[in-house]
Structure 1
């Protein structure tokens, strides 16, 4: 597959940092654990090679980091962070050899070490990780003990998986694309992506973002049957928070604002900032209503659209599906001055909005207010957008058609929540639609207009 299109890049170039890693002074307790996988063109031969050269796994040290002693000045120890709540990331430098087809990464080291990891930033979610291929990372001490390089180069590499909940726009961004931006931006395009569990349609959909981060062809890790050698490899993606970036954890204060600019540049979106109405009452700002068709449907979307038009908005109703041309949809979103919708993955398209726009999130019943704010509210504010959250009443929920008013679903949502995420999701996310009270909602639309009139 060729995904080597070049895009215009920011004039500020972030240089690849050199790793200066300290020696490990505390010995690790060794445990006997490793998954044996195969090598060379024949996976059977690789299994035999690793079996004969298997080493005990290095146990994580205090703080969740592991490392090996340096053999000489050329050897840098691997650094792995197992302590992060969401992601495991290992950084290797030196002589690193990757055989993708067998999910095997080998690195030169004087100290034996071996561990396994799933390079996807949702380590607290077994369901997501069940769709992620496990990687075996193992050291070798002598060149003769390692598989020969079929392809070598000076470009660093990042190994990650697009498994998990691939295809859900929210998870595409929060689990893969934003963490990939955080992890790869330092290389300014001079980095190669080795991607596991990919689907061609997914790569094509997000090609503008992927080619904006790497000038090189993407390697399909699961189908790559050659040994590739790299001087610097990062296994896994760095995760900060849902749909956003923590500037204090990045080089040069990289932020969600930078991600927004990068996305607009990648998709060649023209508008950087929303329309400023000022005192001009004749200008019509554009409002996009995300119309869900499956779950959490806004059943009276036409009434809401009429109410918005009556206040002076130009209204567009749309939704992007899996087969939607994302570039065209991104341009539609970018042409708008505000976006609204019921809590759900479609709101992830706020990343295409200009700055200073307004995101309105309609939150169904089920004590979802905090979750909604974390998923979309805070990220939108991190991109310097205005954010309005509208919690519906019982009368605006279709649950009143399914349950009596004195039911636990209304009177004690906490009891449903205590039954676990599956029960909560079934009741409040999969089987609840919304009918907005347009009179009550009018104040929210007026506030959105006022934001656009502010200088």
Structure 2
């Protein structure tokens, strides 16, 4: 085991999504200056000068609200004095960025934190920066307690110099959303996280059983991307043989988890509520309704990785006739004929504001019926 004053080692886990470094030996964190010192008698040319410990480094606007930690490697005799020596290793991460959004709180923080921390078997201390900008430590409290036996430390309020023999700064993250690449994480996958969550929240169903009428959850949205004919969809689902229910899942994570776990199929318009697929029982079906001009982003966020959770996935891309844009733009508008050119014309911020916050969905139920029938076939397979 490394001793304080010993030479520090460095491992680099960084990729296109996150910067993450592991330091072993004599590692000291000075909270007041947001500086991490690693005792060293040799030059470490590959150590960065700063690290922003948030797993979405490719989005500049997200990283603006993430605190940077300075990394210094002075000789041992020039290290700051230890105020408190910690026996357990530490992981430093940020709850800034986009993490106020539920989807991002999972894909940018909780999932990579799970992947990074599992090897420590709860014997790890979480050092959190930007805690005041996020509700993660309250909303995901139960999961944090499952991952660590220690209280979360708000490093922004820490005036002491904390000393460790092992520290990871940043989170190991897969380049894709809602995904864990097994190769660098000792065969972990997203399925390991969903199993842990079912235990953490005492969810009753590990997998879908036999049902004469599969239970179908339709997620109701009250703000953006509302489903205008959701009540008619409930009736259609019932006619086809489902046992449907309409729920606004709200912000209470534990109650949402229990609701979602009780269903066999979840239908939702693209949005953070789809993140709740992590609570579905295995072999359940996720149906994503993708609003107009969001196909690529819908698939990237939610369509690529349900299989890692042992879920089945269907998607339904709406036509212009099913969008609330209908009648507000001419038929030859670039918004319809070439959405990418339209995005380039008005700029990304205005484009996403329009697509995500100014659009509702009115399903062509005759067309959507085929997707529900496919779901029934998958349930029977």
Shorter-chain TM-score range: over 0.9
TM-score by structure 2 length?
A: 0.93
Higher-Rg structure is 1
1:247-326 correspondence runs (5 A): 247-251=182-186, 253-277=187-211, 283-321=212-250, 324-326=251-253
Q: What secondary structure is seen at the aligned counterpart in 1 of 2:267?
A: strand
Task: State the distance in 2 between where 1:428 and 1:128 align.
Answer: 19
Task: State the distance in 1 between where 2:114 and 2:238 align.
Answer: 38
Task: State the distance in 2 between where 1:202 and 1:246 align.
Answer: 23
Task: State the distance in 2 between where 1:165 and 1:319 align.
Answer: 22
Gaps spanning 5+ residues in structure 2: where? none
Q: Structure 1 residue aligned with 2:32, among 101, 118, 123?
A: 101
Say whether 1:193 aligns with 2:126. yes
Aligned residue pairs: how many? 373
1:286 is displaced (CA, Å) by: 1.3
Task: State the distance in 2 between where 1:99 and 1:364 align.
Answer: 47
Task: State the distance in 2 between where 1:148 and 1:315 align.
Answer: 62
User: Which residue of 2 is the match for residue 35 of structure 1?
Assistant: none
1:282-431 correspondence runs (5 A): 283-321=212-250, 324-366=251-293, 368-419=294-345, 420-431=347-358
Gaps spanning 5+ residues in structure 1: where? 1-17, 20-71, 278-282
User: Which residue of 2 is the match for residue 166 of structure 1?
Assistant: 99
Q: What secondary structure is seen at the aligned counterpart in 2 of 1:304?
A: helix
Contact 1:102 1:222 in 2 (8 A): no
Task: State the distance in 2 between where 1:306 and 1:373 align.
Answer: 28
1:417 is displaced (CA, Å) by: 2.9
Say whether 1:157 aligns with 2:83. no
Say whether 1:207 aligns with 2:141. yes
User: Which residue of 2 is the match for residue 27 of structure 1?
Assistant: none
Say whether 1:116 aligns with 2:50. yes
1:451 is displaced (CA, Å) by: 1.5
TM-score by structure 1 length?
A: 0.79
1:81 is displaced (CA, Å) by: 4.6
1:112 is displaced (CA, Å) by: 5.0
Q: What secondary structure is seen at the aligned counterpart in 2 of 1:355?
A: coil
Task: State the distance in 2 between where 1:95 and 1:142 align.
Answer: 8
Task: State the distance in 1 between where 2:310 and 2:296 align.
Answer: 20
Task: State the distance in 2 between where 1:443 and 1:138 align.
Answer: 60
Task: State the distance in 2 between where 1:409 and 1:153 align.
Answer: 57
User: Cα deviations across residues 244-296 of structure 1 (Å, max 9, x unaligned)?
Assistant: 11112321x1111111101111111110001324xxxxx22211111122111
Q: What secondary structure is seen at the aligned counterpart in 2 of 1:398?
A: coil
Contact 2:8 2:26 in 1 (8 A): no
User: Which residue of 1 is the match for residue 171 of structure 2?
Assistant: 237
1:373 is displaced (CA, Å) by: 1.7
User: Cα deviations across residues 329-350 of structure 1 (Å, max 9, x unaligned)?
Assistant: 1000101111011111110010
